[in-house]
């Protein structure tokens, strides 16, 4: 076929054939999705990623397991499901955005309710579900599903066929609403894992505002990363029992929940079995994902969040720590010869009262550095504690400023700290006037106020900021540190309980504030003098006055 027109015609025919074949494949896939089964949920997921998100779905072996379980929720075979695995592994994507939109499209009349810990998160994920349902891809699959004009809000909508969606957060009102499927998405924040009040509040909301909203034969799907033994999943297990634990050693009882546990690290050979699905996971095998692919990635993650939090959130192991939160073997020291170059800070923590039973006021001096591998270290250089009034506290701070002239002072702008800032600056003016009269150098340390983090409690701040650094020996105590402060710091650290609000913790609280303000000094690799190029001496060199 040498004729140009013949070649062009053949090319056009081939293009049309490919196009027809592709359209046929798309029609077959859409027909399979409308037919139902776990495979339909899988194909729908792939289609949403390609047509709505414009990217490929990264599929791993455990996705089939999740699709099978979720399909059985739609058919009513599974009434109570818990799925637990690590953050950022796609829990919400599959079990909320994909699953709810599919259920709303596939089932003739479907009432979904969605619950999570915060209003913003509820709204964001509800809008994402709605975005999928308003896409051309969804409309082609389920053309009869149309939004109702009278009720079409971000977190509350109806479809013309009678289907409904309602989203709210813990503590939100759900009066008058009902659900065939209620989706629970991390009802407890990681920061609240040690708060008994927040854990009680979340579980009370589940029992009073979710369980009572289920339609006859309704189902619950709860997804989360484990945070504590008595988090929502822990309480489900204890109070209602498990009938089928997939991928775990939990003893099976005559319970009502199906539990799927997917640990990031597999510590022993484990068989995942559900219906005719089987997957044998070898000891040491990591759960495949986009972020942590090697053991080096895992070690870096452990360094950043602490071993305790890693075991809970990534390995779903909430019973690993039975002793005190901080361990004595993780309290380490450093001598003069090993001190790096540092930026110095003076952190002040105020007590609320001057009574004998009140906490001390605490002043902590910290040196901060960061090495060539970008690993930061905090050295507790010195400290003071005592029950001083605001003028006595100012006097103590000024003495520390004299001892550490390059250290900036930081005082928390809350309660007595606001008054202390004003008094300290005035007392420093008086002190410098006296020093000038005696021909002494003035004190020039900067005095700063800083806002305490309102979104987390003091206990959470201490736990989150100091657990990983202590485990990895990146907080050290200087051998020349004040002995009284050192003893009190160790005492507070070893008695610290993140679940208790009222405890003696002023010294460790002062140290923990360093993570809010300090900038570590970057270490510069020293070059041997012998390797430096020799410089010629200038004939016109001169000395400065006073040198």
Average the pLDDT over 158-187 and give the result: 90
Secondary structure (DSSP) of 484-547:
HHHHHHHHHHHH--TT-SSS--HHHHHHHTHHHH--PEEPPPP--GGGSPPPPPPTT--PPTT-
Return the domain boundaries, the chain. 77-305, 331-522
Q: What is the largest CA-CA distance in the chain?
A: 107
281, 158 contact by CB (below 8 A): no
pLDDT digits (tens, 9 = 90+) for 406-430: 999 999 888 788 899 999 999 999 9
Distance CA 56, CA 366 (A): 48
Q: By C-alpha distance, which of 313, 318, 327, 266 is closest to 472?
A: 327
Architecture in CATH of 77-305 = 3-Layer(aba) Sandwich (3.40)
- Is pLDDT of 371 > 60? yes
pLDDT digits (tens, 9 = 90+) for 24-66: 788 899 999 999 999 999 999 999 999 999 999 999 999 999 9
Residue 526's pLDDT band, with cuts at 50, 70 and 90, is low
Task: Bin 463: left if φ > 0, else alpha if -120 < ψ < 50, else beta.
Answer: alpha
Instruction: Give me the pLDDT at residue 27, please.
Output: 86
Work out the number of other CB atoms within 10 angstroms of the CB of residue 526.
Answer: 6
| Mean pLDDT (the chain, rounded) | 88
CATH class of 331-522: alpha beta
pLDDT digits (tens, 9 = 90+) for 389-403: 999 999 999 999 999
Nearest 10 degrees: Cα torsion 309, 313, 315, 317? 70
Contacts of 93 (CB under 8 A, 6+ apart): none
Distance CA 54, CA 57 (A): 10
Looking at the DSSP bridge assignments, the partners of residue 80 are 220
**Residue keyed to tokens 């736990």:** 463
Residue 545's pLDDT band, with cuts at 50, 70 and 90, is very low
Distance CA 151, CA 147 (A): 8
């Amino acid at each position: 076929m040498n004729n140009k027109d013949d070649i062009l015609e053949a090319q056009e025919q081939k293009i049309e054939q490919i196009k027809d074949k592709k359209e046929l494949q798309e029609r077959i896939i859409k027909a399979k999705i409308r037919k139902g089964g776990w495979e339909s949920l899988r194909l729908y997921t792939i289609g949403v990623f390609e047509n709505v998100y414009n990217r490929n779905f990264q599929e791993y072996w455990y996705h089939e397991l999740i699709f099978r379980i979720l399909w059985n929720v739609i058919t009513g075979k599974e009434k109570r499901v818990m799925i637990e695995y690590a953050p950022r592994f796609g829990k919400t994507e599959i079990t909320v955005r994909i699953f709810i939109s599919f259920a709303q499209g596939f089932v003739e009349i479907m009432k979904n309710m969605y619950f999570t810990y915060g209003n913003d998160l509820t709204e964001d994920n509800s809008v994402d579900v709605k975005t999928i349902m308003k896409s051309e891809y969804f409309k082609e699959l389920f053309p009869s599903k149309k939004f109702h004009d009278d009720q079409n809000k971000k977190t509350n909508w109806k479809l013309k066929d009678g289907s409904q969606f309602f989203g709210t957060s813990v503590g939100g009102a759900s009066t008058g609403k009902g659900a065939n499927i209620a989706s629970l998405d991390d009802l407890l924040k990681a920061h609240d894992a040690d708060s008994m009040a927040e854990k009680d509040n979340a579980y009370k909301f589940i029992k009073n505002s979710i369980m009572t909203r289920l339609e006859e034969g309704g189902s619950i799907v709860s997804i989360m990363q484990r945070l504590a033994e008595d988090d929502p999943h822990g309480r489900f297990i204890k109070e209602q029992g498990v009938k089928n634990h997939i991928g775990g050693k939990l003893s099976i009882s005559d319970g009502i929940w199906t539990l799927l546990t997917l640990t990031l690290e597999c510590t022993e050979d484990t068989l995942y079995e559900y219906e005719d699905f089987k997957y044998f996971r070898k000891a040491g095998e990591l759960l495949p994902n986009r972020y942590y692919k090697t053991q080096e990635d895992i070690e870096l993650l452990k360094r950043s969040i602490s071993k305790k939090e890693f075991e809970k959130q990534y390995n779903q192991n909430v019973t690993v720590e039975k002793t005190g939160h901080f361990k004595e073997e993780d309290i380490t020291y450093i001598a003069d010869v090993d001190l790096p170059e540092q930026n110095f800070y003076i952190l002040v923590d105020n007590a609320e009262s001057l009574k004998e039973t009140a906490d001390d006021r605490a002043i902590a001096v910290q040196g901060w550095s960061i090495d060539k591998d970008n690993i930061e270290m905090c050295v507790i250089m010195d400290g003071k504690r005592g029950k001083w009034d605001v003028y006595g506290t100012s006097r103590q701070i000024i003495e520390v400023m004299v001892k550490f002239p390059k250290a900036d002072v930081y005082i928390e702008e809350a309660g007595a700290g606001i008054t202390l800032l004003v008094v300290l600056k005035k007392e420093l003016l008086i002190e410098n006037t006296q020093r000038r009269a005696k021909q002494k150098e003035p004190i020039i340390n900067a005095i700063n106020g800083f806002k305490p983090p309102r979104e987390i409690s003091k206990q959470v701040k201490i736990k989150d900021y100091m657990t990983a650094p202590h485990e990895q020996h990146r907080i050290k105590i200087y051998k020349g540190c004040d002995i009284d402060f050192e003893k009190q710091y160790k005492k507070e650290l070893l008695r610290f309980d993140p679940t208790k609000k009222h405890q003696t913790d002023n010294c460790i609280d002062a140290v923990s504030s360093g993570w809010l303000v300090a900038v570590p000094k970057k270490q510069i690799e020293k070059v041997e003098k012998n390797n430096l190029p020799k410089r010629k001496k200038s004939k016109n060199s001169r000395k400065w006055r006073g040198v």
